[in-house]
Amino acid sequence: MNTGEEICGSWLQYIKGCICIYGQSVPGGSIDVIGINLKKHTVWACEVAIHTRGLHYNKNGKQNNVLKIVEKLKRNIDYIKKEYAGWNHKFMFWTPVVTPKGKRDIEEIQNIIKRDIGEDIEFIISQKFEEAMESLRNVAREETRALPEGSYLRYCQIEECLKKHLKKQK
């Protein structure tokens, strides 16, 4: 699990009340994060790409963002619809930095998925990605029990505790 997958999974767990599966093998690849909320009978399938300079998938030296992401999302959607038939489904794509070209790619990806499969993808990008991280910082700020060691959320908790401590010392 990489840091981006951990951020996504923590958000699903602490904000959406899910249990999470990381790196679920599916025919032809894997789903980065699956969140399952048993009470709401809802499953989230999330593809996560932590490209800090914008989306950058290449094939044979040419940018391949649309085809690569559409392929991944279609595979995820197919698997989730089969394995979780009768459940509510949510499909997400997480990436922090999206350039103007990346935004055009995302629009094209959304249009292709809607046209071919009839599903909507929620894109957690740029500002929405920051908002998700801020919601996790809020959890860390309020949580008094120790969060899992070595996790992004534990780092946030330590940072928030330090900020409170330093503020008191002024």
Number of domains the chain is built from: 1
Mean pLDDT of 56-74: 83
**Continuous segment of H or E residues that includes residue 47:** strand 42-48
pLDDT for 148:
76
| Overall residue count recorded for the chain in this entry | 170
Mean pLDDT of 41-45: 98
What is the chain's mean pLDDT, rounded?
Answer: 92
Q: Is it the case that residue 63 has pLDDT exceeding 80?
A: no
> Any residues with CB less than 8 A from the CB of 114 and at least 6 apart, and which?
120
Could you list the residue range(s) of the whole structural domain that residue 127 is in? Answer: 3-169
Q: What is the dihedral of CA 95, 99, 103, 109, to 10 degrees?
A: -60
CATH of the domain at 145: 3.40.1350.10
Residue 150 confidence class, pLDDT cut points 50, 70, 90:
low
Residue of 152 and 135 predicted with greater confidence: 135
For residue 10, what are its two tokens?
């923590």
Percent of the chain residues topping a pLDDT of 90: 69
Residue 96 confidence class, pLDDT cut points 50, 70, 90:
very high
Q: Give 3-state DSSP helix, strand, coil % of the chain, rounded to 5.
A: 50, 25, 25
